[in-house]
Every structure is written in C-alpha cells, then in structure tokens.
Amino acid sequence: MTPRELVVLVNELPSDSRFKRGHSSSWTLTERLIAASINLQHSLREDYRSAHDADYHFTPVEAPELERDRRAREAQERAAQHRNQLARTALDRILSGELQMTDIDVTKPIEEALIS
C-alpha cells in the first residue's frame, strides 16, 4: 500500500470512527503547527533570557478545548472536589471525636465510615 492510498483510506473513514474521534480538533493541522512553532520560539526565548538574568514569561498558545475534553476535565474536577470534601468531613469528625481512626475500614469507601 502506498502512502497516498493510506491517506485516501483514512480520509474516507466515517467521522465517528475511533481514529477520527481521537484525532479530531477544532484547529487545522497548519494552525496546530503554527501554534507549536510559536510556543517553541517563546520557550527558547524564555530559556535564553532566564540564563542571562532577564525575566520573560509567556502564555502558551493553546487550541480551543473540544466539547468531549471539556466534559472529561469537568468530571475530573468534580471528582476531585468530592474527594476533598470527604477528606475535610472525615478530618472534622476525627478532630471532634465523633469518628475514630479504627472506625475506618481502608478496604471500603470512606462514605461508609462517615455514614455510621
């Protein structure tokens, strides 16, 4: 199979194929390459200036977040927030004497110890 035939096959894949879902972006390849080039140039400039005792900070150019990536990030943030809230609740109950460390079974979810 020639590279051209492979490109034609990939381009003809349905939009919901695993490959296209994994490589979809709101930016074209050219836009992504330009952004990567800009980020690299700024990174090298930052390294050079920091080596010569000069401050230089930049904000990297990032592609817009895709809907599926946004949903995944928000789900991770909600899970982390839930774990942090559970940890605060458990610590408060331990410090107030309502819960003993021996009451917590490490093989079970912390919610079970907080319920009892």
**d(C-alpha 36, C-alpha 25), whole Å:** 14
How large is the average pLDDT for residues 108-114?
A: 83
Domain extents for the chain? 16-64, 66-116
pTM of the model: 0.47
Predicted pLDDT at 43: 92
Task: Kindly tell me if the per-residue pLDDT of 24 is higher than 70.
Answer: no
Q: What is the pLDDT of residue 66?
A: 74
Q: pLDDT tens across 62-106, in order? A: 877 777 778 889 999 999 999 899 889 988 988 998 888 888 888
Please give the structure tokens belonging to residue 109.
Answer: 């979810």
Residue 55: per-residue pLDDT:
86
pLDDT at 53: 86
The residues, ordered by sequence, that sit 6+ positions from 81 with a Cβ below 8 Å of its Cβ are none
Task: Write the pLDDT tens digit of every residue in 27-68.
Answer: 777 888 898 999 999 999 999 988 888 888 888 988 777 777
User: Residue 79: CA atoms inside 13 Å, Cβ hemisphere, count?
Assistant: 6
Question: What separation, in Å, do the N-terminal and C-terminal C-alpha atoms of the chain show?
Answer: 65
